[in-house]
Structure 1
Amino acid sequence: MSHETNSLAPEQLTEQQHTVLVDWLTQLADDEFILGHRDSEWLGLCPTVEEDVAFSSIAQDEVGHAVFYYELIQELEGVSADYLAFQRPAHERKNSLLVERENGDWAYTIVRHYLYDLWDQIRLDAMVESRYTPLAHGTQKMKREEYYHLIHFQHWFARLTGCGGEAQERMKQAMEWVEQDLDDLLDIGVYESDLLSWGILTKPPTEMRSEFYSQYEDLWKDISDLSERMIIFSKQASKGRMGQHSPALASVLENMTEVIRFDPNAQW
């Protein structure tokens, strides 16, 4: 039976399915929204004018994807997308710690975004045939857009790691910094078995993580002798997906909500 004929419609969801789906959509939306804002902070500061234009476009795409997810939540919860994006307190956010970190230098920004996009492609692959049809249809379009993001950051990653010297050393350091947040990024929250059993995801989360880690190890092989180091993933329980965030998120939200705090009736 195809996922179209066995689809989950909003009105057919059980209370538990509703809870699980909203939790997952919130993770996706908050990741995209916060990362999109961090991208926008590079406007006027990128290494070249061309990259300024590219980064602005990527930031717009990420925020647009967040809007899609927030609007799906709006349909399920009856809470406006504007409220979800701008008026929830930090402890209600489910974004990963990685996307809320300060931008740091260009190397950190490139590494963070490239690794995030690798994971996002894996997530999207696991949703394009989701039983929740609105999600499946939307992620098919996003997958096409994210493909070009991935190529963009893949190019920067290869360029900076391949030129040796200070650039390569900064990229290595950025990899080590980002590494500390990878387990949190790859966490899917407390409902991952339900997401799979109900067909909201069509690939087991354990396989999704294994696929990512394999790609991650391949990246290290390009810039370092893996025999000389151990890949260090934090084994702490997820924090971001449970609403436990760093001070960096409060700073981001303070900046993002300036307009709506000044004019609560403003629309994005």
Structure 2
Amino acid sequence: MHQIQTAQEAIQNNDYKKALTELLYQLADDDFLLAFRGSEWLGLAPHIEEDIAYSSINQDTMGHAVMYYQLLEELGEGSADSLAHGRIASERKNAIFTELANGSGTYLEEPRYDWAFAVVRHYFYDIYKKLKLESLQKSSYQPLVTAAAKMKMELYYHIMHWKVWFNQLCLSGGEGKTRMGAAIQKAWEEIGGLLSSGPDERLMAGFGLIEEPSAFLARWEKEMKQVFEDAGLSYPGSPQMKQGDGRAGTHSKDLNQALDTLNEVYALDPQASW
């Protein structure tokens, strides 16, 4: 049993703080980038009810990112605003999976939006996030335990939303099923990066911040295999990390585009409160 840590205690333990801040940056940046990619669908969703529902989901997800950035602020990492908007691409810890443009190609080469990819990415991400929050609810860092409990209550509805879309499109046959298959393949090429906790994952687990990586992977695989079975699909096999590990600072050029857009207003006056 690991001793429960407060913010003040975490600051006084250099190794513990190092592992904790690394974890928080990953959690915050994942939610931040995925919420932004979702927000780009505003006014473009298949129908107006979906536009409203999707906007609400993205607002929740961005709110979760803010909570993580605020926890980093409490640890002396800087203001939440500067952490969200003032860091360059190489400093970001999000998985490449969350930063990819909404189109079926890269943002600059093919900006055509793909609803199948939106459904697949959000559904797979929220399943991962549910399991991650379950792990964080047993964390040795008390403020993270409290935050995870709040987030998980909202996440239940997100998962239900995307599950309906995923199963309906996969079971529909025809073009819908074909496009979902292509979207799943694209997502699977980078989902391994989402599962990574980077170079410090053993340190995180050793301090009781998260569960052992092998245990988490086993839970995730069990959950995902059921997802594919319910949709009448074959399991794609081992998760991949085609473009590298975002946790270690490797990113696609899509991230630069995303940050340019996200930070445009902040850059006008970084001292203002956004």
Length-normalised TM-score, structure 2 = 0.90
1:197 is aligned to: 206
SS of equivalent residue, structure 1 residue 258: coil
Give the Cα separation in 2 of the matches to 1:76 and 1:115: 30
1:133 is aligned to: 142
Residue 224 of structure 1 and its aligned partner are, at CA, apart by: 5.5
C-alpha distance after superposition, 1:219-267 (max 9, x if no partner): 33345563xx862532669520011100000000000111012233332
Give the Cα separation in 1 of the matches to 2:125 and 2:236: 21
Residue 206 of structure 1 and its aligned partner are, at CA, apart by: 1.1
SS of equivalent residue, structure 1 residue 44: coil
- Given residue 12 of structure 1, which amino acid in structure 2 is its aligned partner? E
> How many residue pairs end up in the alignment?
262
Kept after mapping to 2: 8 A contact 1:189/1:238 = no
Give the Cα separation in 2 of the matches to 1:31 and 1:44: 23
Q: Find out whether 1:158 has 2:167 as its counterpart.
A: yes
Matched-pair identity in % = 39
Q: Choose the corresponding residue for 1:180, options 180, 185, 189.
A: 189
1:65 is aligned to: 64
Q: Choose the corresponding residue for 2:269, options 232, 253, 263.
A: 263
Residue 162 of structure 1 and its aligned partner are, at CA, apart by: 1.4
2:9 is aligned to: 12
CA RMSD of aligned residues (A): 1.8
Give the Cα separation in 1 of the matches to 2:20 and 2:264: 30
Identify unmatched segments of 5+ residues in structure 2.
Answer: 104-113
Q: For residues 235 and 142 of structure 1, do their structure 2 counterparts lie closer, same or farther at Cα, with a shift above 3 Å needed?
A: closer
C-alpha distance after superposition, 1:58-103 (max 9, x if no partner): 1111110000000110111240011000010000000000110011
- Given residue 63 of structure 1, which amino acid in structure 2 is its aligned partner? M
Kept after mapping to 2: 8 A contact 1:180/1:232 = no
C-alpha distance after superposition, 1:165-205 (max 9, x if no partner): 1001111111111000011110011222222222212x322
- Given residue 62 of structure 1, which amino acid in structure 2 is its aligned partner? T
Identify unmatched segments of 5+ residues in structure 1.
Answer: none
